[in-house]
Amino acid sequence: MDEELLKKIKEKYEAQGEDPNVYLKGLLHQKPVNYWEYIDVETLLSLQRTKTGYHDETVFIVYHQITELVLKLMIHELKVLTGEETPSHDVMVDKLSRLNRYTSMLINSFAVMTRGMSYDDYNEFRMSLAPASGFQSAQFRLIELYCTDMKNLIHDSVKKDVPQDAGTRELFDYLYWQQAGYDRKTGKKSLMLRQFEDKYLDEFVELAERMKTRNLDVRSAHYNPDNPEDKKVINALRVFDRAYNIDWPIVHLETANTYLAKKGAKKRATGSSDWQKYLHPAYQRRKFFPKVWSSAELENWAKDRL
| C-alpha separations of 272 from 48, 50, 132 in Å | 24, 21, 10
The tens digit of pLDDT for each residue in 131-141 reads 998 999 999 99
The tens digit of pLDDT for each residue in 16-33 reads 999 999 999 999 999 999
State how far the Cα of 101 lies from the Cα of 72, in Å rounded to an integer.
13
- The average pLDDT across 168-182 equals 93
- The average pLDDT across 165-190 equals 93
Q: Which fold has domain 52-129+137-151+211-305?
A: Methane Monooxygenase Hydroxylase; Chain G, domain 1 (1.20.58)
How much is the mean pLDDT over the chain?
Answer: 92
- The average pLDDT across 190-216 equals 97
- The average pLDDT across 48-58 equals 96
State how far the Cα of 271 lies from the Cα of 264, in Å rounded to an integer.
21
The reported pLDDT for the residue numbered 274 is: 56
**Position 101: which residue type?**
R
Residue 83 CA, distance from chain mean position? 18
pLDDT band, residue 9 (cuts 50/70/90): very high
State how far the Cα of 95 lies from the Cα of 110, in Å rounded to an integer.
23
Flag the least confident range among 211-220, 241-250, 267-276.
267-276
Residue 275 CA, distance from chain mean position? 19
Domain ranges of the chain: 1-31, 52-129+137-151+211-305
